[in-house]
Amino acid sequence: MQKRIRPAALAVPAVLTSLLLAACGDAATDTATTATTETTAAATSSAHVGASASELKEVSSITPRVVIAHEDGLSVLDTATGEIISETELSGFQRLNNSGDGRHVMVTDGNKFVAFDAALKSRPHGDHAHHYSGDPELRDLAYDADLAGHVTVNDGLTALFSDGAGTALIVPTDQIAEGYRPADGVLVESGDPHHGVAVPFRDGSVLITVGTEKERHTIQYRDAEGEVISETTDCPGIHGEAVATDGAVAFGCTDGPVVFDGAEFHKITPAEGVDYQRSGNLAGHAGSPIILGDYKVDKDADLERPTQINLIDTRDNTMQQVELDSSYWFRSLGRGPAGEALVLTYDGHLKVIDPESGEITADIPAIEAWEEKDEWQEPGPILQASGDIAYITDAEKQELVLVDLTSGEVTERFSLEVAPVEIAVVDGIAAADAEQLAGGHDHGHEHDHEGHDH
């Protein structure tokens, strides 16, 4: 039975139906259904809703796969060969988020999250790991969500936020492959629809935004029973979140970020004379106390093109800016294997920054010079990092470029037949395992997470 957690101080409807598994029913009587996302790439699947993902075969080794969203659907590229190994036709605008299990990608498709199986898995076993591989597929597993929004991974849990309901469905990350059913999940209710986010913790507590469709400035920390333990109302325009080492969480606001230290909230005030400062896109790392963010200061700009980035130190609740001499956009931020701050700038270079000192330690030419378009949904360059490799798309040239962050060299340039709109890199390693490798913390998180600007 689904558990609902409501804030004690808010009156909410007794019944919410915005987050239900598509066509779910009793496990013993489910009949075969197709995914609610339209696909013409394959015949109707015979899997039952809520059924486990396809079985993978053990192999000697695996290499990451890149799931690419484009105007015709999804493609999966094998980075060992550069070949497209899977095509799925989808209509509409798709957004991609790693689910946190190292295998699945959540496809945000209007009013639902659909699980896409990239079919890779690594299981740590003492001083080695076992690797598994299979055929990628769009699963018959969809989580309905009125205006599906942010996906947040933390502490072995995945939170799926419904902007249209103001609710977050929290499911165990490692059970997505088993067809985890929302009816058994935890539904956290904020009270009103808004563009929000939730960060879950393994003890049942949760950070959740509270707001309306017109405004949002409140973040609450609630226990497993929904009681508000700590709260801040000092984060106007809340957008973007990331987790640092030791479980600290930063949130972007329009007047300087807020940091949650595990018990209380702390406001970071911008420099004197700066009335507007927005860091709405954040990237954290399990081994670093410093969170990378964008740095915008022009309240009236229709499309601000910042040249500085923000480094938010969760140890002492301070921030410093680094001048890059070139602009960037919300898909430009990432983190390296040792917590390095990574930024893809308009000049086509990958900037590598020491988060402690703010020093730019490498400036690597990667793609052709570019500029953010007026419409953010149009294809543009994307940066994601996994392990020692940065994955960068060049939408105009239709290329995927791989940069070795250890050597600072471009190692591969793969030609594509599509212009990528979004990508998700899947390496088979669950976020919780990646955190351990990075010297993680009590409140884990997806090691390379950025908040979407839209």
Helical (H) or strand (E) element with 454: none
Amino acid symbol at 274 = V
**8-state DSSP, 432:** H
The model's pTM is 0.87
Amino acid symbol at 74 = L
Q: Which two tokens stand for residue 27?
A: 């496990």
- Parent domain of 437: 3-450
Q: Are the beta carbons of 402 and 367 closer than 8 angstroms?
A: no
Q: Are the beta carbons of 220 and 39 closer than 8 angstroms?
A: no
| Burial of 57 (C-beta count, 10 Å sphere; 0-12/13-18/19+) | exposed
Q: Are the beta carbons of 196 and 188 closer than 8 angstroms?
A: no
Angstrom distances, CA of residue 61 to CA of 123, 228, 269: 12, 46, 48
Q: Can you tell me the distance from the alpha carbon of 351 to that of 340, in angstroms, rounded to the nearest whole number?
A: 10
Per-residue confidence in pLDDT tens, the chain, 454 aa? 566 666 643 333 322 333 333 333 333 333 333 333 333 333 222 233 456 788 999 999 999 999 999 999 999 999 999 999 999 999 999 999 999 999 999 999 899 999 999 999 999 888 889 999 999 999 999 999 999 999 999 999 999 999 999 999 999 999 999 988 766 789 999 999 999 999 999 999 999 999 999 999 999 999 999 999 999 999 999 999 999 999 999 999 999 999 999 999 999 999 988 999 999 999 999 999 999 999 999 999 999 999 999 999 999 999 999 999 999 999 999 999 999 999 999 999 999 999 999 999 999 999 999 999 999 999 999 999 999 999 999 999 999 999 999 999 999 999 999 999 999 999 999 988 876 554 444 333 333 344 445 5
Q: Can you tell me the distance from the alpha carbon of 279 to that of 131, in angstroms, rounded to the nearest whole number?
A: 38
What CATH number does residue 129 fall under? 2.130.10.10
The total number of structural domains in the chain stands at 1
